[in-house]
Structure 1
Amino acid sequence: MAAEPSKDLLARIAAAYGTTAPTAIVEEGTTTSFRRGDGKLLRQYQSPDRFSIRIDYSTGSEARVMVGEKAWQQGAPANPMLRGAIALQVARIALPWNMLAKRSSLVDLGPVPAGGHAIEFPLEEQLKLVVEVDPASGRILRSRGIYRMGEGTMEFATAYSDFRTVNGRLHAAREEHYAMGQHTGYSVIEKVSYPRDLPDSAFKP
C-alpha cells in the first residue's frame, strides 16, 4: 500500500505557506503566452469550488469559470478535457492548503532527480497532480497536472519561483507554464489579496 507523506514534510509545507487556509484569493498580474503574446491576468477563487480566470490580450480575451462541477470557457460549457484543465487551475491557486485539507488521500512518491520530493494529489477519477516540494523549506517547486484520456495522458506543468509573503501567506510571484513538455509561457503575479469573500459576479460565466 502506498505511504502517505511524512508528517514532518506536511508540517514544513504548512509552516512555509501559512497554516490558516484563505477563504478567497485574488491574483493580478501579467501572462506571456508564446502563442498569443502579453496579457493582463486576473484570477479569483472562493473556497471550496468557485474559480475564474481572465486574460486580456491585445487580440482578445480568454475567460474560464468553474462553479462546483460545472465549467465554462468564453461563456460556453467546457468539454471534458477543457473542464479538466480548469479543475487543475482551481487546485493550483490554493495548492498547499488544498493538499493539506486532503492529506489522507496524498501518496508519497519519494525524491525526484531535481532534488525535490514528489507527492501525488488525486483530484478526480481521471485527474491528478504530482507536486514537487523542497523538503528543506516546504516550498512547492513544481506541479504536474496529469489528465488521463483512455490509454493516453495529457500533462500540464507549472514551475514556481520568486517566492514572496503577503499577510503571512507565501506565494510564488513567477510561474513557468508547460504543456506536454513544451514551454508555453509564463505568468508574473504582481498583486495577491485574501478577501473574506467575493461577489457572485466574480464567477459569472
Structure 2
Amino acid sequence: MIRLFTSISLALLLVSSLHAEKVAEKDALLLNMIQAYGGKTALEQASSYIQHWRVLRAADGTEGKETRRVTLPKRLYVDLRYPDKEEIRVLEGTVGIKIFGKHAKKQVFGPMLDAMKLQLLRVYNPLQLKKVSDRIEMTREKEGYILKFVKNGVECDYYVNPKNYHIEKTVGKLKMGPNTMEFVTLYKDFVKQNTVLMPGTEVKYAGGVNTATNRLIDTEFVRLKKVSKHRYERI
C-alpha cells in the first residue's frame, strides 16, 4: 500500500512538473511574440485601428477594396466592396449585423455569426493572446508552434514561426451541422506600422479553396475615449 501511494504521488508530481514546464514555455513564447510585434506599450496603444486593403477576388480576378476597423478584443467592422457587390459586417461582442447595399440590414446567427467571430479572432495580436493565455493550448510541431484558442464556440489556431515569432498562418474552424469547415489565412510581407508589426499581405482560403488576397494600403491607429458601456468615440 505504501509503495502504491508513493508511485501515485511521484506520478502526480511528474504530471504537475510537466504542466508547469509547458505553461512556462507558452508564456515565454508569447513574450517573445509581443517583443517581435513591437513591445507591450506599442501593442497596448494599437488596440484600435482602421486599415485599408486592396482585395483580389481569386475566383475571377476582380479587384475590390476593404476597410477594416478593429477595437480589440470585442469589435470588428468590415466594409468589403467589389464592382458587382457590397457588404458590411459589424460584430459587437457576440452580436453580428450584415448590411447588403444601402438598405438590406439583418442580424445574423449560426455559421454567419461564427464567421464574424472568427474574423475578429484572426486579428488578435500577441498581447491580446497573452491576456487570455490561460485559455490557450500550445503544441509544438516540426514547423513551429501552434496556439489553439476557443472563444464563443469558435476555434482559431495560430501558427507561429519559432525563428522570428511571427504568426504566419491562422486556421479557423467552424461547425456546420455535423461537419467542420476550415478557413485558412496566410500572412506575408510583414511591415512596421507606427512601430507595430503588421502583415502586408493576407492570402485567404475556405475549405481548401483560395478565395482572395488582401494587400495592405495603410493603417491608422485610433485613440478612444469611453462614452458609455457600449459606445466609444475617437479622440
TM-score scaled to structure 1, two decimals? 0.88
Tell whether the 8 Å contact from 1:142 to 1:158 is kept in structure 2 after alignment: yes
Unaligned runs of 5+ in 1: none
Give the deviation of 1:149 after TM superposition.
3.3
| Equivalence for 2:150 | 122
Give the deviation of 1:201 after TM superposition.
9.5
| Equivalence for 1:31 | 55
Normalized per residue, the structure richer in helix is 2
Deviations 1:23-63 (A, max 9, x none): 31111121111236211110001233121001111112111
Query: Is residue 2:203 matched to residue 1:183?
Result: no
Structure ranking higher on relative contact order (CA contacts 8 Å, 6+ apart): 1
Aligned residue identity for 1:189: L
Number of residue equivalences: 199
Partner residue of 1:109 out of 130, 133, 139: 139
Unaligned runs of 5+ in 2: 1-14, 100-104
Q: Report the RMSD for the aligned CA atoms in angstroms.
A: 2.2
Tell whether the 8 Å contact from 1:23 to 1:197 is kept in structure 2 after alignment: no
Higher Cα radius of gyration: 2
Tell whether the 8 Å contact from 2:76 to 2:92 is kept in structure 1 after alignment: yes
Tell whether the 8 Å contact from 1:91 to 1:98 is kept in structure 2 after alignment: no
TM-score scaled to structure 2, two decimals? 0.77
Aligned residue identity for 2:163: A
Q: Which runs of 4+ in 1 moved over 4 A?
A: 1-5, 198-202
Query: Is residue 2:28 matched to residue 1:8?
Result: yes
Percent sequence identity over matched residues? 22
Query: Is residue 2:218 matched to residue 1:194?
Result: no
Tell whether the 8 Å contact from 2:136 to 2:147 is kept in structure 1 after alignment: yes
Tell whether the 8 Å contact from 1:25 to 1:192 is kept in structure 2 after alignment: yes
